[in-house]
Amino acid sequence: MLLIPGNRKLVDVLAEWGLHEAHGHLLGALPIPLIPPAPPGHARDAAGVELALRYRSPLVARILQAGPRAVLTVEFEPDDRASLFIADARPLPEWAAAIAKQSTYVSVLAEGSDPVTRQLVCAVHAPGGHLDNIQGPVVIYDGWHRGAAWWLQMEAGRRHTISADLILTETLDPVLTAVPREGH
């Protein structure tokens, strides 16, 4: 995992997550008052946070319950992929194999000539908010499909990194307590 210098704010991650949802899964389904305004700025960011809280609240709640301490931008390297799990506790390779058979979106991303680039939203148990104190798997909360496509590209020999907002939490997400942890 490569650390990109600088820290992020959790509220900025939530804003981007909600705005991504507004242009993805929620496109055409949002009531007019919840559609983010077009110009970039505070109102658009606030609308993104609102959407993340309303439409991804179970996942956001798990992150908040785990006690976020810091948010970093990282690049996961191909060798990091085995430590990634999606938020329902399935290992990324298992999810990738399953969804590749069902999702045209994942297949198009995986088979495309471009690397998967849009950031994932992840969290990891790192007491004290220190990257050198990681204890457990990295959990992907947003970007399951992109993560699967990235995995499939790696399996096809197209090795590259993928960016992520990595939230360092004080405790382990309770859903992940059954996931085996190397060295622990």
Structure tokens at 58: 């179970």
Residue 113 CA to residue 129 CA, distance in Å, equals 37
Look at the chain and count its residues: 184
Q: What is the pLDDT of residues 150-164, one digit of tens each?
A: 999 999 999 999 999
For residue 164, being part of any structural domain is answered with yes
Residue 113 CA to residue 109 CA, distance in Å, equals 8
pLDDT value at position 6?
A: 85
For residue 67, being part of any structural domain is answered with yes
For residue 183, being part of any structural domain is answered with no
The rounded average pLDDT for each run of 10 residues, N- to C-terminus, in the chain (184 residues) is 91 97 91 92 97 97 96 94 92 94 92 90 92 89 96 94 96 75 44
pLDDT value at position 130?
A: 85
- The CA-CA-CA angle for residues 64, 95, 170, to 5°, reads 20
Counting beta carbons within 10 angstroms of the beta carbon of residue 2, is it exposed (0 to 12), middle (13 to 18) or buried (19 or more)? exposed
Count of structural domains within the chain: 1
pLDDT value at position 122?
A: 97
Domain range holding 33? 2-176
Q: What is this structure's pTM?
A: 0.91
For residue 181, being part of any structural domain is answered with no
